Amino acid sequence: MADYFDLSGKVALVTGGSRGLGHAMAKALAEAGADVVVTSRKAADCDAAAREIEAIGRRALAHGCHVGRWDELPGLVEAAYAAFGKVDILINNAGIAPTAPSSFDITEALFDKTVAVNFKGPFRLSALIGKRMMAAGSGVIINVSSNAAIRPVPAYPVYAAAKAALNAITKAHALEFGPAVRVNTIMCGPFWTDISKSWREQADKDSKAALKRIGRPHEIVTTALYLASDHSSFTTGATIELDGGLP
């Protein structure tokens, strides 16, 4: 079965790859044979994650980048292609979910930052790398969304809207970049990560999902590997719900 997820010779770029779900996916891609570009805002965290990947026996590139800043993305792409000559797999995982007491209290700066990280950045990075993937004749883009896109709540309306936009662009990019490039979304429920440490225990206890708990980082891995591998060759424009069976 390991051969189904064999990524030998592939190069993956994972945003938000230094911690949480991104870190879990970056390591899993390396264990499946891929070389990995790890990017996040904090270069030191990227360096640490890259060393872990190199310890697995794969090549890694650490590159600090704020994916919400349009003008930083070309530099990330150029660094990846300079190091490895290609990108076969792009995982748009980086995201932020700031809350506010009400929509009235959300500032323009917070609105713009939330949309930039969760939608504008993935959109632009997919456009930059998707174009090169099309020219190369193959590629995979995986967007990491949230069930907030279809179950919005007042605490984070802008985040929910940005993730809904990410879901929509998945289908649009699948049509635009196909047939050479496949584009899919993993739409996650709550997960037990360091990012969720302030609320994860209570959410785990109170979960209304069919599995009566929130997810663990390793539980996103096989979904990501499936979408990244050639054995999902007829899957594109899809949104896969990974939420333990939320009602």
The candidate with the shortest Cα–Cα distance to 125, out of 180, 64, 70, is 70
Q: Catalytic annotation on 159?
A: yes
Paired tokens of 61: 């590139």
Computed from CA positions of residues 52, 55, 59, 61, in that sequence, does the dihedral angle turn out positive or negative? positive
Q: Which residues pair with 61 in a beta bridge?
A: 37
Residue with tokens 């993305």: 73
Per DSSP, the three-state class of 146 is strand
**Core vs surface per residue 167-179: b (16+ CB within 10 A) or e:** bebbbebbeebee
Catalytic residue among 4, 156, 159, 226: 159
Paired tokens of 131: 């174009």
Catalytic residues: 159
